[in-house]
Amino acid sequence: MDNNQQVSFHDELLILVDESDAVVGHGTKEHCHSGDGLPHRAFSIFVFNSNNELLIQRRSAQKPLWPMFWSNSVCSHPRKGEEYLEALSRRLLDEVGMQVPLEFLFRFQYQAFYEQLGAENELCSVYAGRSDVLPCINPNEIAEWRYVALDDLQKDIAAHPDQYTPWFKTELEQIRTDFLEKIFSL
């Protein structure tokens, strides 16, 4: 599978939302991430294999925010007119060339600033699934990937917290605390 196409654009329209996830408008990806950021929909996907290892990715150097940071399997945004499930399927294929059945876990609001270049201000829905299919990564989105055991990942994050995206660290902590049993039963 050829997975080298550009799939992210500064002018794509994202969905602006309030704290209850009600749509309040639309804004370009670039505008949503400028300054303090505008509250918008986002999602994070955690793909585990049958050994209970998590697929993580190092974000491409081309990413304007948090380039070359390690993060969860896939993260992105639904676009204007796109429902969550449609966006999840699109980004799994776009970034890692996979189709994975997903379960919704939780939703949370966060804001994080990257240097003086911009911010995330997202209402993020977190999903998990299982697959033993090896990813076919899109190098425009991902610099490298690996499967990692959660205990090893936790130790590495503790030793090198500045190498991981802020949303990933928050999500992983809640997953470890509240959702491992559900994920491992998928």
Joined together, the tokens standing for residue 33 give 């991430």
Joined together, the tokens standing for residue 2 give 């050829």
Options 95, 120, 122, 171, the catalytic residue: 122
- Locate all alpha helices (DSSP H) within 11-165, ordered by sequence: 29-32, 84-91, 150-159
Options 32, 75, 120, 141, the catalytic residue: 75
Bridge partner list, 129? 47, 102
Name residue 65's amino acid. L
Torsion of CA 125, 111, 174, 108, to 10 degrees: -40
Q: Could you give the CA distance from residue 71 to residue 46 in angstroms, rounded to a whole number?
A: 10
Pairing of strands 70-71, 53-59: antiparallel
Q: Could you confirm whether 32 is annotated as catalytic?
A: no
Q: Could you confirm whether 75 is annotated as catalytic?
A: yes
Closest by CA to 186, choosing from 16, 50, 24, is 50
Residues with active-site annotation: 75, 122
